[in-house]
Amino acid sequence: MWSCPPPRTSARSGAAVGPTTSTSAVARADVHTRPLEARPLEYSVLLHAPRRIVAPISLGLTDLVGLTQRVAAEVRAGDHEVVIDPSRRWYQRIQGDDFVDVWLISWATEQYAELHDHAGSFGALTVVSGALTETRWTAGGLRSRKLRAGRSVGFGLGHVHDVANPSPTPAVSVHAYSPPLTAMSYYAPDSDGVLPRLRRTRSVLVEAGSSEGIG
C-alpha cells in the first residue's frame, strides 16, 4: 500500500517555542500598536502548526495489478456476467469507492479505447480472455505490444496508451484506477519533422462512476 510521507518538519514547523523576532517583525512593530512579541501564545501555535494531509491515499501499482488479477479470477469462475456487444464496447463497474474503481470490459473485434492518459490516477489491467493490443507512447514514439490472456500491466502517471482488440476473437479484461479517474486527455500522434510527439486533442472531466476513459 502506497502511503503519503509524513509532513516535513523543520525548525519553522516544529513545536512552538514562543514568539520569535525577525527583521521584518521588527519593522512591522513600528506601525502596530502592539508589537508581535506581545501576541498571545495560541496565535503563535496556529502559525506554526503542521498541516494535516486529508486527501485519499491511492493504491500503488503493485496493489492495483493484484486487484485486477483477483477480480479476473472471479470472472473466470463465473462470478460476473460478461456481455459481448459488437456495436460498442461493453463495460461494468465491479467496485467503486473513494480509493479505487474496478471495471470489467469486453472488446469485440476492432473495438478500441483511443489514445489517452489517466490524469492523476494510477491504473492496471489484467486480460481475462482473448488478447488485446496496447499501443503506448514512449520516448521513441508509439510502441505496440500484445497482451494475451493472463497478462497484467500497470500504468504509472503520465502513461499514454490506446487499447484495442484487432483479432476476430472477443477479449475480456479487468481494469482498475486509483484514485478513481477524475479527468483525462486524448491525444493524436504528430511530428515536428524531426521528432515524434503527441498533440492533445481534448481533455474531459470524468464524473464519479462514469465510463469515460475506461480502457
Query: Which positions make up the binding site for Fe cation?
Result: 116, 118, 161
Report, in Å, the least distance between residue 76 CB and Fe ion. Answer: 22
CB hemisphere CA count around 98 (13 angstroms): 4
The nearest distance, CB 154 to Fe ion, in angstroms, is 11
Contact of 106 with 170, CB cutoff 8 Å: yes
Q: How far is the CB of 175 from Fe ion (least distance, A)?
A: 7
Binders in 24-63 for Fe ion, by CB under 5 A = none
Nearer to Fe ion by C-beta: 29 or 204? 204
Query: What are the grid coordinates assigned to 199, written together?
Result: 498533440
Q: Spell out, one character per residue from 94 to 133, where the chain touches Fe ion: x when CB under 5 A holds, - when not.
A: ----------------------------------------
- The answer to whether the Cα torsion of 6, 10, 16, 22 is positive or negative is negative
Count of chain residues binding Fe ion (CB under 5 A):
1
Minimum Å gap between C-beta 135 and Fe ion is 11
Name the residue whose CB lies closest to Fe ion.
215
Residue 125 to residues 8, 32, 71, Cα–Cα distance (Å)? 34, 61, 10
Question: Contact, 163 vs 115, CB < 8 A?
Answer: no
Chain residues 156-215 in contact with Fe ion, contact rule CB under 5 A: 215
Neighbouring CB atoms inside 10 A of 33's CB total: 6
Residue 190 or residue 212: which is nearer to Fe ion going by CB? 212
CA dihedral 208, 108, 117, 187 (to 10 degrees): -120
Pick the closer one to Fe ion by CB: 20 or 182: 182
Grid cell locating 60: 500503488
35 vs 154 by CB, closer to Fe ion: 154
Footprint of Fe ion (CB under 5 A): 215
